[in-house]
Amino acid sequence: MVTSTALALPDYVKKLVAPAMNTKMYDHPATQANLKTLETYDYQIISPKESLLACGDHGKGALADLNTILERIKETLDEQTL
């Protein structure tokens, strides 16, 4: 449903993505290719952080800090209202 909604949005609407997953999933070539594809469609990627993951591993893939996400949202909204 999220994908369908995002596809229906006009091109001028800024879109942010904050991926979070296991390090092996994040580093997988298919995931990296998909993130690059999203960037070609002007999606802004908020990179995950390195931390303890839900699976118990430590590595890159944890959701970015909420303050980081909120700041990027604020910056994006400020850009759109100018």
pLDDT at 5: 85
- Catalogue the E-assigned strands of 2-76: 15-17, 43-45, 49-52, 58-62
- The residue with tokens 């296991």 is 22
Interatomic CA distance for residues 57 and 78, integer angstroms: 37
Contact 35/6 with Cβ under 8 angstroms?
no
Per the domain annotation, does 32 fall within a domain? Answer: yes
The number of distinct structural domains making up the chain is 1
pLDDT digits (tens, 9 = 90+) for 24-71: 999 999 999 999 999 999 999 999 999 999 999 999 999 999 999 999
Comparison of pLDDT for 5 and 50, the residue scoring more:
50
Q: By residue range, what is the domain housing residue 50?
A: 20-81
Rounded to a whole number of angstroms, the distance between the first and last alpha carbons of the chain is 30
Give the predicted TM-score (pTM) of the model.
0.86
> What single-letter DSSP state applies at residue 64?
P
Annotated active-site residue 55? The verdict is yes
Residue from 55, 57, 70, 80 carrying the catalytic annotation: 55
